[in-house]
Amino acid sequence: MRQTQLFTKTSKQLNQEETSANAQLLVRGGYIDKLMAGVYTLLPLGRRVVDHIEQIIREEMDAVAGQEVSMPALQPKDNWVKTGRWDSMRDILYTIKDEAGHEYTLGPTHEEIVVPLAKQFIQSYKDLPISIYQFQSKFRKELRPKSGILRGREFLMKDMYSFHATVEDLDAYYERVTAAYLRVFTRLGLQDVTYLTYASGGVFSKYSHEFQTVTPAGEDTIYICDGCRLAINHEIRHETPHCPSCGKDQFTTAKAIEVGNIFKLMTKFSEPFGLGFTDASGARLPVIMGCYGMGLTRLLGTIVEIDHDEKGIIWPEAVAPYRVHLLNLSKDSVQADAAYASLQAAGVSVLYDDRLVSPGVKLGDADLLGLPQRVVISQKTGTNVEVKLRSQPDSQLIPFDQLLATLTTPNV
C-alpha cells in the first residue's frame, strides 16, 4: 500500500480526552477513530490488525472443533425475559422500542440467542457435544468508558458456546479451550504477561477463569501465585486465601486487564429454554453448557499497552497491519519504486511511504505506526539500503540486491 493512497493520516496532536496510551497511539497513528465515548471506528490499519487477531483466534477455535456462525445483534425482548436478564442486566442493555411497541436489545452477549438456536438441532446424545462460535459486535452501557478501546460500549468479542451430555465431557472440553486460549495469547506475543486467573463463577459453578494480561493500564487487580503461574482475581481473594492450584499462599499483586473469560454455565441457560436431549436409555436430560469469551478490540488495545515505547507502537509480527515499512528519503523514487515492486511481487506485505514530506516526518511516523521492519532508501545509503527492526535500536546496511532475501529471512 502506498502511503499517499492510504485513507488515513497520522496526527501529532495529543488528544486531551484520551488518557490511555493505547487510545493516544491508535488514534494518532490512524488505526482507530473515536465517534463518542466507548465507540470507535476501525480504520484500514486498525481493521488489518483486528483481522489478524481474528484469524489467529479462528484457527485456534477451529482446532477445538468450533464451528463459526454469525448471530444477530438485534435481539427480541422475549428471549431476555425468559432468562430473567431483561431485568437483571437492565442497567447495561441498550434497548429499543419500535412503532408497533415491540421491544429489542442490542446483544451484550448471546446466550439468549444461541440456546434456542441450538434447541432446533440438538435432540439426542448423538448430537452432542457441539461447539459454535462467532465474532460479533457487543453492546453494553459501560458507565465510564475511559480506557480507550479497552472498554467499549460497542466492541468486538469472540464468543463460543459448547453443549455437552455430561459434566465430565464439559470439564474435558473446558481444559481443551483453556489450552487453545493460551495458544492464542502465545501467538499474540502476550504469553509472558497473561495469567490464567480464578474468578467468581456465579451461581452454577464455584469459579470461572479469566485470562488477565498484566499492564498498569489494567482496571482489575490480580494476585499472582508465587508458586505457579496461576492468579486469583481480587474479587474472590478473601474467600480464596490459598492458590487453588498449588496451595501456596504467597502472591504478587498486579494491575491487569481481562482479555478472556470462560465459564461453566452448566444448565443455567438450557433450563429456561428447555434445551434437553435424550440419552442412550431414552431418558430426557438438560444439556450442559460452557461459554468462552475473548475481546478482540480489547486485545488490540492491550497489545499496544504492552508493546509500545515513547515514540509509538511496536507491533508483534503476527498482528502487524503490514510487515515492512518502506521509506523513500531520496529525491527521486526510482530505487524505492523498484524495491516496492519486488517486495510486492514476493508477497511481502509492505506500506510504502512515498509521500513528499521531510525525512524527519517519515521516520517519526514509522516509529509511531510501529511496523516490525523499517527499510530506508536514501541518497546517503547509495547502492545500499538501511534495514531496522522497530523493536531494536540498531540498523543495518545491506546491498540493495539482497533486500528481498534479508526481509524474507526471519529476524533480519
Please name the residue that has the C-alpha cell 509500545.
308
Q: Is 261 in the site for ligand ATP (CB under 6 A)?
A: yes
Q: What is the DSSP letter of 15?
A: P
Which grid cell sits at 385? 539500503
Cα angle 233, 239, 240; round to 5: 60
Which grid cell sits at 48? 488489518
Q: Is 155 in the site for ligand ATP (CB under 6 A)?
A: yes
Minimum CB–partner distance for residue 137 and ligand ATP (Å): 10
Instruction: Give the DSSP H or E segment for 276.
Output: strand 276-278
Q: Which of 46, 66, 152, 312 binds ligand ATP (CB under 6 A)?
A: 152
Q: Helix, strand or coil for residue 108? A: coil
Q: Which of 109, 213, 261, 297 binds Mg ion (CB under 5 A)?
A: 261
Q: Which of 85, 298, 325, 390 binds ligand ATP (CB under 6 A)?
A: 298
Strands (E), 234-275: 251-266
CA dihedral 180, 182, 185, 191 (to 10 degrees): -160
Residues paired with 361 in a beta bridge? none
- Closest residue (Cβ) to Mg ion? 261
Phi, psi of 270 (to 5 degrees): -70, -30
Partner that binds at residue 157, options Mg ion, ligand ATP, none, CB closer than 5 to 8 Å by kind: ligand ATP
Count helices and strands (H / E) in the chain.
11, 23
217-225, 261-269, 312-320, 395-403 -> range binding Mg ion (CB under 5 A): 261-269
Sign of CA dihedral 157, 214, 142, 291: positive
Closer by beta carbon to ligand ATP, 190 or else 350: 190
Q: What is the DSSP letter of 238?
A: T
Size of the site for ligand ATP (CB under 6 A): 16
Q: Is 251 in the site for ligand ATP (CB under 6 A)?
A: no
Closer by beta carbon to Mg ion, 261 or else 373: 261
Size of the site for Mg ion (CB under 5 A): 1
Query: According to the 3-state scheme, what is the secondary structure of 17-71?
Result: CCCCHHHHHHHHCCCEEEEECCEEEECHHHHHHHHHHHHHHHHHHHHCCCEECCC
Instruction: Give residues 132-151 in contact with ligand ATP (rule: CB under 6 A).
Output: 140, 142, 151
Instruction: Give the separation between CA 265 and CA 181, rounded to whole angstroms.
Output: 18
Closer by beta carbon to ligand ATP, 198 or else 322: 198
Closer by beta carbon to ligand ATP, 10 or else 215: 215
Partner that binds at residue 298, options ligand ATP, Mg ion, none, CB closer than 5 to 8 Å by kind: ligand ATP
Q: Is 136 in the site for Mg ion (CB under 5 A)?
A: no
Q: Is 297 in the site for ligand ATP (CB under 6 A)?
A: yes
- Closest residue (Cβ) to ligand ATP? 295
Minimum CB–partner distance for residue 153 and ligand ATP (Å): 7
Minimum CB–partner distance for residue 259 and ligand ATP (Å): 5
Closer by beta carbon to Mg ion, 30 or else 260: 260
Q: Is 213 in the site for Mg ion (CB under 5 A)?
A: no
Q: Which of 260, 290, 312, 372 binds ligand ATP (CB under 6 A)?
A: 260
Q: What is the DSSP letter of 249?
A: -
Q: Is 295 in the site for ligand ATP (CB under 6 A)?
A: yes
Q: Which of 157, 225, 243, 398 binds ligand ATP (CB under 6 A)?
A: 157
Q: Is 10 in the site for ligand ATP (CB under 6 A)?
A: no
Which grid cell sits at 208? 470461572
Query: According to the 3-state scheme, what is the secondary structure of 286-304?
Result: ECEEEEEEEEHHHHHHHHH
Q: Which residues contact 59 (CB under 8 A, 6 or more apart)?
A: none
Selection from 10, 44, 53 nearest residue 366 by Cα: 10
Interacting residues with ligand ATP (CB under 6 A) = 109, 140, 142, 151-152, 155, 157, 258-261, 293-295, 297-298
Interacting residues with Mg ion (CB under 5 A) = 261
